[in-house]
């Protein structure tokens, strides 16, 4: 019989300790240790369902041919830009963001927009019919987009083997679990093991995968920092739920320059790309107005024009119901 024991794992960085500790010696985070059950059974290998290819042999570096990573169009210029010019074949990208910010919409819209590639959208959060409703709201249709509601990693690999998709989207990594680890879905061990198995799948088959990950209150992705180390690309989807604009930022990119930024507008019918940020940062009509200055700034690798507005009025001797003397500034 498999013996079980428990360890305490840092939710932030994945460091382990046999006892609970208040402050993580590895990342300095307070109160981040949670108990996880680990199996003492010999570590079973996560089966890639026959997807493994023959072991590679070392080759002389001089015999190697340098070739550019092949990329494909995700159907969204802003997403392509943040990825460094399109999604790289065989790469693993993580889209992180707070719950409800629109990560699933972004990913589903990409799945529906990609042309000439069979895409598999795996949802551990929504049923297939909920996803259909969402797709109908987006008003896109793509006969090459397949949807499955699944949380078992082993089952996901079976679906992949049957369907042979050209792109896989997993929503979200925190809901996926593997049978080889006993701890509950979303725990550090599960997230790490599942992500590592998915990375292996990407590299052995050359299939690109998008992972969706929730962000905790402190803004770190999926709790464990380990996830950020495993994947090739980390994209963060930011914005305020009450406002319509969203920013997609790359935090890490093995295949492109990091400081890239994409802007979207959340609409009833999905995300619209904002290719000209001036439309939202500048008031277009300021003829005859004073107190407005345009400045340029740079965010990531992208220049922006921003507008500073100053409202100044002289102190009136007769108090009116109007604005108090002073100034406000909005950019």
Residues in touch with Zn ion (CB under 5 A): 10, 12-13, 15, 24, 26-27, 29
Nearer to Zn ion, 29 or 126 (CB): 29
CB of 12 to Zn ion, least distance (A): 4
Nearer to Zn ion, 15 or 112 (CB): 15
Longest CA–CA span in the chain (Å) reads 89
Q: Do the Cβ atoms of 201 and 207 come closer than 8 Å?
A: yes
CA 42 to chain centre: 33
CB of 254 to Zn ion, least distance (A): 24
Query: What is each CA distance from 314 to 217, 244, 288, 318, 327, in whole angstroms?
Result: 44, 36, 19, 11, 10
CB of 296 to Zn ion, least distance (A): 40
What distance in Å separates the CA atoms of residue 114 and residue 73, rounded to the nearest whole number?
Answer: 7
Nearer to Zn ion, 28 or 325 (CB): 28
Query: What is each CA distance from 233 to 121, 251, 287, 296, in whole angstroms?
Result: 19, 8, 44, 29
CB of 22 to Zn ion, least distance (A): 12
* Helix, strand or coil, per DSSP, at residue 328: strand
CB of 331 to Zn ion, least distance (A): 37
For 126-152, b/e burial (b = at least 16 CB within 10 A) is: beeeebeebbeebebebebbbbbbbee
Nearer to Zn ion, 15 or 145 (CB): 15
CB of 282 to Zn ion, least distance (A): 43
> Locate tokens 């001797």: which residue?
317
Q: Rg of the chain over CA atoms, in angstroms?
A: 24
Nearer to Zn ion, 34 or 148 (CB): 34
Nearer to Zn ion, 26 or 47 (CB): 26
Of 204, 189, 183, nearest in space to 47 by CA: 204
What distance in Å separates the CA atoms of residue 315 and residue 280, rounded to the nearest whole number?
Answer: 33
CB of 234 to Zn ion, least distance (A): 18
Nearer to Zn ion, 119 or 190 (CB): 190
CB of 29 to Zn ion, least distance (A): 5
Nearer to Zn ion, 15 or 274 (CB): 15
DSSP-derived letter for residue 121 is E
List helix spans (H) across 139-219: 153-163, 188-205
Nearer to Zn ion, 9 or 122 (CB): 9
Query: What is each CA distance from 98 to 155, 191, 219, 241, 260, in whole angstroms?
Result: 27, 17, 8, 9, 20
Q: If residue 149 lies in a helix (H) or strand (E), which one and from where to where?
A: strand 145-149
CB of 46 to Zn ion, least distance (A): 25
Q: Do the Cβ atoms of 102 and 268 come closer than 8 Å?
A: no
């Amino acid at each position: 019989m498999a013996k079980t024991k428990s360890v305490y794992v840092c939710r932030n960085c994945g460091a382990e300790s046999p006892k609970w500790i208040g402050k993580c010696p590895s990342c300095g985070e307070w109160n981040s240790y949670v108990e996880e059950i680990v199996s003492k059974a010999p570590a079973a290998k996560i089966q890639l369902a026959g997807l493994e290819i023959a072991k590679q042999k070392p080759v002389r570096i001089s015999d190697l041919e340098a070739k550019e990573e092949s990329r494909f169009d995700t159907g969204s210029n802003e997403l392509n830009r943040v990825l460094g010019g399109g999604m790289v074949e065989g790469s693993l990208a993580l889209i992180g963001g707070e719950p409800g910010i629109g990560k699933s919409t972004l990913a589903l819209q990409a799945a529906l927009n990609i042309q000439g590639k069979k895409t598999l959208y795996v949802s551990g959060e929504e049923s297939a019919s909920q996803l259909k409703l969402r797709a109908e709201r987006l008003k896109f249709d793509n006969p090459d987009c397949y949807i499955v509601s699944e949380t078992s990693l082993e089952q996901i690999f079976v679906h992949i083997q049957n369907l042979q998709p050209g792109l896989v989207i997993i929503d979200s990594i925190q809901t996926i679990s593997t049978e080889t680890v006993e701890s509950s879905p979303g725990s550090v061990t599960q997230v790490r093991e599942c992500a590592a198995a998915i990375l292996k799948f990407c590299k052995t088959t050359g299939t690109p995968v998008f992972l969706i990950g929730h962000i905790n209150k402190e803004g770190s992705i999926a709790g464990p920092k380990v996830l950020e180390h495993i994947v090739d690309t980390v994209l963060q989807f930011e914005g305020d739920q009450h406002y319509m604009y969203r920013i997609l930022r790359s935090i890490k990119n093995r295949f492109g320059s990091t400081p890239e930024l994409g802007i979207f507008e959340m609409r009833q019918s999905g995300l619209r790309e904002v290719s000209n940020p001036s439309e939202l940062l500048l008031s277009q009509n300021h003829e005859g107005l004073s107190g407005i200055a345009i400045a340029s700034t740079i965010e990531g690798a992208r220049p922006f024009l921003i507008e500073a507005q100053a409202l100044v009025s002289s102190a009136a001797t007769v108090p009116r119901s109007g604005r108090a003397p002073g100034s406000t500034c909005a950019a």
